[in-house]
Amino acid sequence: MRRNRIAVLAATAVALSVTVAPAVASASASASVSASASSLPSAPASAASAKAAALQQAIAGLPAADATAAQVRYKGDDLRWSGATGQVDLRTHKAVKGDERFRAGSITKTFTAAVALQLVHEKKLDLDGTVQQYLPGLLPAHYPDVKVRQLLDYTSGLPGGDTREAPKSPGWDKSRYTTWYHRALVQAGFGKPMEFTPGTRQHYSNIGYNVLGLLIEKVTGRTYEQELRDRVINRVGLKDTYSPGADTRIKGRHTHGYEALKDAGGGTRLVDTTEWDQSETWASGDLITTTADLERFTSALFAGRVVPQQELKLMFTVPKVPTYESAKPAVYSSGLTRIQLVKDGPVYWGKSGSRYGYLSGFGATQDGARSLVYSVNSTDAKGDAATAPDSRIGRIIMAGLGR
């Protein structure tokens, strides 16, 4: 169903919550790591064993204060490994198996970019075509021309709308049952001036990819969800991946997300954030998937089986511009991120994503020979500490892709 305005479905809905000790460390089977690994004949057994041990250690001890569950998959010349730990639901204490669905957040952008680049290959979209040409009246008349390529690589300069309160603020979850109509979502920030002249800076945000969602619908005459399903999900065979639309639930077996909040007594209260209307992110962040599907998608994408090779080059090309409000060079391409964990070390390409209660990501070498996929049910998914080098996710990434 197309959405062209904001509709509050349940303005008085209250988040479900559960109180736990700040550092949960269950001795039951649900807190142990369930893992499988196979070292390949060409790799030294000691190196493969060390990597498997590092991955297992990185996700051990869940549920804990920082996260309630984790699912990880690693694939390389040296080892194939998958592991899961924690609980899918703190009320039932059911152990994670490793094939549960979760909210992928901004990983959705990689899928959206793949659809848009297919349309570029088919000449239904032009990289140098403008939003004003395709969708007249969408942008304010005083905004400069914004090109499709600038939406893809975050150099459009378009201001994004404030669709929710800041994390941990008193009203942080008040919009969880609000449905945003797509055009209203895109135009929510257009009362503000352009952030910069298009093509001169890079600012990572959701706005460009939600505009791409509208462009996809305009040039195909079908919904974004239909195009995503037919062009990517079904083409690659992703059986557990889908866009939920305005459905606040996650279908099938899935992990629950929790956000840790301080209560009046100084303790920690975990709010169950699993049910949430994802229309506030739409084409930039509403996808639901599994680690197995993400691993399959990454392999197919990097091998050129999703986006034709000519357009795929854009996904491995970072624009030569500084980042917004910084002199640092840009790191985002069209749908991916350039990742270099150590100076002079190997370069990986991937994408991360977060929704309340969920932090996920994938990364791989450009030839696809080595890849890592993770989903962690972080209790502070919007906090900087959750992705710091010494965090659980930092340790997972270094265990899988570090030297």
Cβ atoms of 368 and 304 closer than 8 Å: no
Q: Record the tokens describing residue 163, joined without a space.
A: 């669709």
The domains of the chain are located at 18-401
Taking only the tens place, the pLDDT of each residue in 365-387 is: 999 999 999 999 999 999 999 99
Taking only the tens place, the pLDDT of each residue in 96-116 is: 999 999 999 999 999 999 999
Residue 69, SS3 per DSSP:
strand
389 prior amide bond cis, ω within 30: no
pLDDT-derived band of residue 42, with 50, 70 and 90 as boundaries?
Answer: low
pLDDT-derived band of residue 169, with 50, 70 and 90 as boundaries?
Answer: confident
Taking only the tens place, the pLDDT of each residue in 217-244 is: 999 999 999 999 999 999 999 999 999 9
pLDDT-derived band of residue 13, with 50, 70 and 90 as boundaries?
Answer: very low
**What mean pLDDT do residues 178-188 have?**
95
pLDDT at site 372: 98
Which of 368, 311, 287 lies closest to 153 in space, CA to CA?
311
Residue 162, SS3 per DSSP:
coil
- Give the residues across from 18 on adjacent strands: 270
End-to-end CA distance of the chain: 47
pLDDT at site 30: 40
CA 75 – CA 175 distance, rounded (Å): 38
| Higher pLDDT among residues 167 and 315, named by residue | 315
Cβ atoms of 345 and 397 closer than 8 Å: no
Query: Which H/E stretch holds residue 376?
Result: strand 371-378
Pairing outcome for strands 17-19 and 337-339:
unpaired
Cβ atoms of 134 and 215 closer than 8 Å: yes
- The correct answer on CATH 3.40.710.10 for the domain covering 18-401 is yes
Q: Tell which phi-psi region holds residue 185, choosing left (phi > 0), alpha (psi between -120 and 50) or beta.
A: alpha
CA 34 – CA 117 distance, rounded (Å): 38
pLDDT-derived band of residue 41, with 50, 70 and 90 as boundaries?
Answer: low
With tokens 């696809």, the residue in question is 368
pLDDT-derived band of residue 172, with 50, 70 and 90 as boundaries?
Answer: confident
**CA Rg value for the chain:** 21
CA 382 – CA 174 distance, rounded (Å): 16
Q: What residues contact 54, with CB distance under 8 A and at least 6 apart?
A: 398, 399
Percent of the chain with pLDDT over 90: 80
- Give the residues across from 94 on adjacent strands: 89
For residue 44, pLDDT over 70 is answered with no
